Each structure stands twice: as structure tokens, then as C-alpha cells.
Chain A
Amino acid sequence: MIHFVLLISRQGKVRLTKWYSPYSQKERSKVIRELSGIVLNRGPKLCNFVEWRGHRVVYRRYAGLYFCMCIDEADNELEVLDIIHHFVEILDRYFGSVCELDLIFNFHKAYYILDEVLIAGEFQESSKRTIIRLLSTHDSMVEMAKEEATSIGNMIAQVTK
């Protein structure tokens, strides 16, 4: 299973963290510090796997962002690379050629997308189209709720005028 997912920028800033195994807040920041030290310092031609505390960390760099996933020794590292790519492709489709700023200002959306790709550290859906469809349904439900709220607000405002 995937124990956690980290998105770290080239400068070592955390852009997304998702923990599927219990790590206390203290451990979390330690893990992030340790791993960003290891991953960011690896050369470009090296393999995408790092052995770390009895686990394996699979990472992949997209522009200035490192996507890291921590897995068990017995898991398939090559597949995890594809899972990362799958996630990135969905981000790309959702945001329309995604960049780091999208993930900063819409970080919650990145989390929603991740929740459609992984649950409990396991892979959920291999169809990008399904995921995009689900997400847009969610978004439109939010929009509808907002419009409803503003229209009620307008009505109240008119009545009380």
C-alpha cells in the first residue's frame, strides 16, 4: 500500500501531503524534512527509487515539482510510477495544463482529485474520464449550492429593503 503522498517543490516547499498510515504531526514534519533532503539532492539520471526506513520511496519530477509516494518493500515500484503519472495527467486535464501555481491556489482541489485516485493508500480508478466526470459533478453541486445561497440572500435583501 501507499503510506503517504508528498508533493515537494524544487525549493523544498510542501505542496500537498496525504498520510494513509498513522504518523504523528511531529513525525510528519520529520519525514518531510528527511525525504526532501534525499529526493531533491538526487541527480537527474538516477533511478526513481530511494530506500528509506525499510520502505521505498518512489518519486518523479514534473517541472519544479517532485511527486513522492512511499510504498512497502514488496510493492511494484514501476506501477507506482504509473500511478503518479496517472494522477498528474488528471491534474493536467482538470486544470488545463497544470502548473505549480494551480496547485498552490487550488490546493484543496488537488486533494479532491487525489481522493478520487487513491483511498486507504490503494489505487481506486484507472479511467481518467470517470474521475474528471465525478469531479465536475462535485463542482457543479458546489456551484449550485452557492447560487442558491446568493439568490436567497438577494431575496432577503429585497424584502428587507
Chain B
Amino acid sequence: MNPFSSGTRLRDMIRAIRACKTAAEERAVVRKECAAIRAAINENDQDYRHRNLAKLMFIHMLGYPTHFGQMECLKLIASPGFPEKRIGYLGLMLLLDERQEVLMLVTNSVKQDLNHTNQYIVGLALCALGNICSAEMARDLAPEVERLLQFRDPNIRKKAALCSIRIIKKVPDLAENFINPVAALLKEKHHGVLITGVQLCTDLCKVSPEALEYFRKKCTDGLVRTLRDLVNSPYAPEYDIAGITDPFLHIRLLKLLRVLGQGDADASDSMNDILAQVATKTESNKNAGNAILYECVETIMSIEDNGGLRVLAINILGRFLSNRDNNIRYVALNMLMRAITVDAQAVQRHRATILECVKDSDASIRKRALELVYLLVNESNVKPLTKELVDYLEVSDQDFKGDLTAKVCSIIEKFSPEKSWYIDQMLKVLTEAGNFVKDEVWHALVVVISNASDLHGYTVRALFRALQTTAEQESLVRVAVWCIGEYGDLLVNNAGRLNVEDPITVTESDAVDIVESAIKRHASDLTTKSMALIALLKLSSRFPSCSGRIKDIVVQHKGSLVLELQQRSLEFNSIIEKHQNIRSALVERMPVLDEATFGGRRASSLPNTVSTSSGTAVKLPNGVAKPSAAPLVDLLDLSDDVPAPSSSGGDFLQDLLGVNLPPATQSGTNQTPKAGTDVLLDLLSIGSTPAQDNNLSTPDILSSGQDNKPIIASLDVLAAPSLTHTTSSTASNMMDLLDGLDPAPPKPVENGPAYPSIVAFESSSLRLTFNFSKQPGNPQTTMISGTFTNLSSNLFTDFVFQAAVPKFLQLHLDPASGNSLPASGNGTITQSLKVTNSQHGKKPLVMRLRIAYKVDGKDVLEEGQINNFPRDL
């Protein structure tokens, strides 16, 4: 006996594996067995080959790799005996799939087995072929399979029929060869052959229009007769399931009739009677009967119209829908969804029941029902349906709320009969499930509110009330804060009160309180807090009495770690303190947001950040994700397509909203009497464009400010925070965060051509920005100043930056400004590089980099390649 063949039997191995108490033990046993099997394979051991393969299959099922056993399957299949072939084919089907090259090697053995004198071996080969054959094998072996469709033993014919299904699915061109043999199969009496033949016929009709035409003409009547005989057949114990003779055959026949009847009035007509018989006579107390009814209903719905049958079908579905069995209700919902295109009115009748299903405890049923309800909504029933759904939103479980909210919002938006209803419903949704409301949905709500001028007062008061009761729903807070900022005066003086609402007394300080709580709330995210700050700024003008208090709140964020809040706080504080004269104009109400533009933008499925993101995307060639300020820009620039209002206040307003005025306008207006406005613009707008100005090499206001030549004295202080942006390198990162642009520090023009700076490397924890300059008269050499920013919340120590370049480049690295990098962008390391490009003008720069540092004493290594250097360096 072979010393390497493992002595254990299959049973013993399974027992050993089952006895393992830990995964490690199991791995050890499997490893030992695998080693023994490999050894046996190498030895070309004959005696235990099939036992080894059986073991491998078990090991495979446990999820261990077994590719080394694939060739063993082939050897077993090639051996002469039935037992070897049987296990060999099983292994082939289990260990391989159609995409493996090894499979091609088996084609020849399969071919021989298909022609084998032992019909059971033929059966094995057909089964394997049907389960895993690839397109090539299908082509090679189709003639054999086709021949076997006429084999004397029915058990081979049925296997050949199913194998043919796989073949025509893999190679639809072969379909026509099968048409004639299949027509013969349809006349069989043997149920197995008939079932598989009908199935093959259905699949042929799907891949080949000629086959469909042929079978429709020649076989429809025969199939109807077969179904009739089956329905009326006496009790047959061999095929009986719950009192029905062979439901599987029933279902397949109905399915084929559906394919034949679809789009053909004559064929449909000839099957009407039998369908009616099946629909009325089938017992529906067992699953098998319901399965047949279900199939029958689908066929009735799909074939050409026959009013009477459809009524019958819809009634069956109605019965299904009120069934106590969840499975039956599920399929009913499923089918009603398809029926809705045929007879919407009939489905509407079951609305109440369907609505109940939305509240079912079963997630599968809920999902189906919700989709169906969505299709059922129309102008006439939108109000009651929405009410039901919104009420349910309150009690639905968390997993389902997301889906439900999306659908409810979509219904409200699509069918809302009037604005007040829309606003009411949306407020309810926001109150119940604001956290599940998508951004574009509440953006749309803000647009609608802004357009409904007679409802401003009502809306803001309703939101105020809602916010008083719950502040847990983020998007509710946002919309409320926005509205209070815009329409705070209406909130306090109860203007525009509708008859339906209760009077409410809100003092100015109440309004400020509630906005303040939104900022203070821990869970509020950056967008909400930023919106709240803007709202406060607006309120400071609306409620002069609270101005001092608002200033205090704003000032509290001067030290905020979040740059966005810090910057806003500083800027708004300046406005409140120093610019009383322009403040009221600056924070005037927003102009009405243009529904058409906004709607159009949503419809075109572009993100709302069209204007800003398209500008920045170009600037971030390495696909760096936009910093978190993006949604902010987004929400503030809602109106950037609005035509500029004529009043100067409107201009300010636009600026406040972060409108991206084209740089040309900016550079054109510098040093004019309006310059002050523009400084402000730069100050306040988020996506303004100092970097672009710089690219244009036009001395603009900011650079003139940098030269310490104040245009207007009073604006000097005001502009101060903004000026730091462009002068210190820290601030350049800050700018970066704020607007996603990469501002290059202003360089004197005489320094040679200016290049845009790039984000050379960015990971989740680290960003490296490169700024470029060239010495005049030496175009080959580029001075690069690299700035590292730590984006994580941990301090980096022992920071080392290394770079490598290809041979045509020369690299000189200056020492870095430090070796520790404070957390969260609170400091930077700068390092200068000098790169000389010997192929200047021919090849662009390219660089590999490696950054090593320590976090909490642990070494971290980051590597990357920079391919996005400006072209002409």
C-alpha cells in the first residue's frame, strides 16, 4: 500500500473535523488531510483517488482552497468505471466553474461519455454538461446532445432537454437546430420529458423569434390539449401533490402558453377556455394550488386582452391579498404591481388592503406593498394615502424608515395639489424622520417655501413649534433655522396668520434662543451650525434689541476648531460690530429662489453644486474628495442662477450666498468706488476666487491690500482675516478647506509665469500641497514648496518626507521646517524641493514619494506617486 495515501476514510475525516472545538484545530486537521491528498496526487495514487476527491469536496464545502484537486476530477472522469466517473463528474461540478481553463480539457471525455453504451454514464455526462458547460463546450457538444433528445430511455431525453437549455442560453445561434426535436418532445407522455421539453420550448421562444413563431403555429393547440388532459386527469399517486396531478407540469405549461399568447390574439383566444378552467377549478387551500393559480393569473395578465378573464384574475389576487399566509400575500402584491399597467382601476379597489400591508411586520411584504402604493398614488387619492403613510412613519421601525421616507417625499413632491399642503406634509415628514430626508428634498422644500410668500409667516411659526418639540431631526433643524433667519420678524409679529393656526407668542429672544440651541446642540453637524450662524447674523439685523446677545453667541465660535465656523464667526462679528450701516442691506431677505432653475438642476440629476464643484473638480486632478465644506457651499449657493437684483443690497445678498461671480467681473471692478463691496464679497463668499485672480495675473484688491495700501480705511480691518489667507501658508490650507480651490500664494509677477498649485498627495490623514515657482531665465528648474497638513486628530512625530524621480530629473531636497505635525491642520511643515528637468518641454514632471511618521509611537508609512504636475514644468 502506498505509504503516502492517507489511511483515514472519508467518514473518519468528517468525524475528525466535526470533533474540532476551535477553528484553529479544524484548520490543522484540514491542512493535514490536504497534505496527504497532495502527496497522493503526486504519487498518482489510483486506489484512493475517488476517496481523496470526496474528501476534497467536503473540504471545499468548508471554504478551503482545493484547486489542486481539479486535475483529479479529470482523471476520474477519464477512467472506465461508473463509480469513478460518478464521483469525478460530481467533483467537476463542485470544484470548477465554467470560467476555468481546466474545463476545456474535459470536453473530449464528456464527448466520449455522451456516446457511451452505458446509459447511466451518458446521464452523468449530460448532467455535468448541463450544469457547468461553457460556450465553447456548448458549441462542441451540441450535436451529441441534440441526438440524445431522441434517445430511447426517457430519463436521458429529459436530461438532454435541460442540457439543451444551457446550450442555447450560452450560444443562442444554435437554437434553430433544436426546434424540430423539441416539437417531438412536446407530444411525449412521460412527465419528466414533458416538463423538460416544455421548459426547453419556453427558453427557445425567448432566444429565437423564429422558434416562437413556429411553436405558436404548430403547438399551441396541442399544448392546450395537454393542459386540459392534465387538469382533468384522475388521481395519479406518483405525481400527486395536495390533490393536484403534477403542479410542476401545470406551471410549466401555463408559462409556455403565456409566451405563445403574448402579442398574438389568435393564440390567446385558443387558450382562454382552459385558463378560465384552471382559474376557477384549482383548489386554493394548499401551496401547490396557489402556485398554479399564481402562474395562471400571470398568464392571463400577459396574453391578449379578454375582459372576463382579467376580472377573474384580479379577483384571485384580491383573495390572495386577504389570505393569512404571508407567502400568498407577498406574491399577490408582486402580481398586482404587474397588473397595475393592465387595469389600474381594479388594483385601486384593493388600496386599503395594500396600505395595511405597508404596515406588516414582515420586511419583504412591507417593501413590496410600499412600491405598490407608490404606483397607486394619483391626484385624487394623494391626500388620504399620504396621511396614512406619514402617520405610519411615526411607528415604523428604523430599518424601514429610510425607504418609507424617500417614497413619501417623492409622492408629496410629485402630486402635491397646493403649496400649503406640500409644506404641511413635508414639515410632518421632517418632524418624524428628518434624519432620513435626503439633502435635495429639503433643498426643494426651502425653494418652495421661498416661493410661497403668503405662507412665510405660517411656515416659520410651524417650524418654530416643531423645533420646540423635537430637535433631533437634523434636516428639520436646518430648514427651521433657515426660515427663522429669513422670516424671523414674521415669527415674532404673527404676520400673515392663517385661520387654521393657533396664535403663538414668540419674543425676539425666544427666536434667538432656539437658533442658539441649534448651534449648541452636540449632534448638530457643520452644515447645521453654519446655517445657524447665518441665521443669527440675519436676526441681529431683524431684532436690533438682541444684537448684543447675538454678537456674544457669534463670538463664542471665534475659537472654534472647525475653520468654517471660526471664519464665519470672525467675519460676522466684524459685520455686527463695525458695519452697522451696511448690515441691514447685507442681510436682507433672500430673493425668491427660482423654482424652474432649481427644479431643472435637480431633474438633470446633477449635484446641486454644479457651479462650484465644476470649478473645483478641474482643480483637483487626482480626484481628491472635496473637503467637507462642499455641502455648505452647496446650500448657500442655491440662488446662484438668479439674475442679479438691481439694488445694491441684492448684491451684498448674493455675495453672502457665495455666488461665484466670474473672475473677470472681479478684476474689472477693482479700485473702483464699488471696491469695498468686492472686498466684502471676497470676505463672505465661500467659493470666491483669489486663486483664479492670481492666475490671471491681475493685481486685485486683495493683493493691493497685501501691499498695505488700504483702499478704504474702514475696510482695512474688515478685510484683515481674509488677507491672512493669502499671506501665510497656514491660511492657504484654510482657504483650501473652505472652497476646494487651491489658492496659490500670490507671487510677484516678475517671478516668471505662475503655476497653479496642486494637491500632490492626499490620504485620510495627510495632505501635501505643492506650490511652484521658476527662476527667470532658467526654465528647466522648478522650485517647489511643499506644505504638509495633518488631517487626522493625532499628532505626527518623526515626520520624514522622501521623494524619488526618474533619471531625466534632478532633485534637490532642502531640510524640512520641522519634524512634528500638529493634529487637525493646526500647523504645517513646509519643505522646499528643487527639480531640474533635463527634458523640459518634452516630458512632464513625475515623482514618487514616501512619507514616514509616528502616531502614538507607531510607525506609519504612506507612499504615492504624483502625476498631476502642471504640464509645462
Residues of A that sit less than 8 Å from B by CB? 14-20, 22-25, 29, 43, 45-51, 76-79, 81-83, 86, 104-105, 107-108, 111-112, 115, 119-120, 122-130, 134, 137-138, 141-142, 145-146
Contacts and interface: CB of A to CB of B under 8 A. Distances in A.
B130 A45 contact: no
B327 A78 contact: yes
Contacts of B247: 79, 82
25 contacts: A17-B61, A18-B93, A18-B131, A24-B97, A25-B65, A45-B362, A47-B365, A48-B327, A76-B255, A79-B248, A82-B241, A86-B248, A108-B54, A108-B87, A111-B93, A112-B86, A115-B93, A115-B131, A119-B159, A119-B162, A125-B192, A126-B195, A127-B192, A137-B120, A138-B82
A104 B131 contact: no
B238 interface: yes
B690 to A, nearest CB: 48
Given A78-B287, A78-B290, A112 B249 contact: no
Contact of A77 (B58, B98, B327): B327
B63 interface: yes
A88 to B, nearest CB: 13
A29 B317 CA distance: 38
Contacts of B287: 78, 81-82
B246 interface: yes
A145 B545 CA distance: 103
A9 B186 CA distance: 40
Contacts of B328: 78
Taking residues whose C-beta sits less than 8 angstroms from the other chain, chain B's interface range is 35 or more
Contact of A145 (B81, B294, B330): B81
A14 B331 CA distance: 28
B195 A105 contact: no
A14 to B, nearest CB: 6
A148 to B, nearest CB: 9
Nearest to A133: B155
Interface string B85-124: 0110010011001110000000000000000000010000
Contact of B294 (A76, A111, A119, A130): A76
Given A16-B61, A82-B291, A138-B120, A105 B14 contact: yes
B86 A22 contact: no
B557 interface: no
Contacts of A47: 326-327, 329-330, 362, 364-365
Given A29-B63, A122-B162, A134-B155, A51 B364 contact: yes
A134 B155 CA distance: 9
Contact of B162 (A79, A108, A124): A124
Contacts of B83: 141-142, 145-146
Given A82-B241, A126-B248, A119 B127 contact: yes
A142 B86 contact: yes
A45 to B, nearest CB: 7
Contact of B90 (A22, A111, A124, A127): A111
A77 B331 contact: yes
Interface in B240-262: 241, 246-249, 251-252, 255
A35 to B, nearest CB: 14
B725 interface: no
B238 A124 contact: no
Contacts of A20: 131
Nearest to B238: A127
A119 to B, nearest CB: 4
A45 B361 CA distance: 9
A138 B327 CA distance: 37
Given A77-B327, A108-B57, A126 B239 contact: yes
Given A47-B326, A125-B195, A126-B239, A76 B291 contact: yes
Interface in B254-302: 255, 287-288, 290-291, 294-295, 298
A26 B30 CA distance: 19
A54 to B, nearest CB: 13
B568 interface: no
B11 to A, nearest CB: 6
Interface in B825-845: none
Given A43-B361, A78-B327, A122-B196, 19 more contacts: A14-B61, A14-B62, A16-B61, A22-B97, A24-B97, A24-B99, A46-B362, A47-B327, A47-B330, A47-B362, A48-B327, A76-B295, A78-B287, A112-B90, A120-B163, A126-B239, A127-B191, A127-B238, A137-B120
Interface string B126-156: 1100110000000000000000000000010
A48 to B, nearest CB: 6
Contacts of A122: 162, 165, 196, 199
A22 B328 CA distance: 31
Contact of A105 (B11, B246, B248, B367): B11
Nearest to B327: A47
A138 B54 CA distance: 17
Contacts of B195: 123-126
A50 B294 CA distance: 18
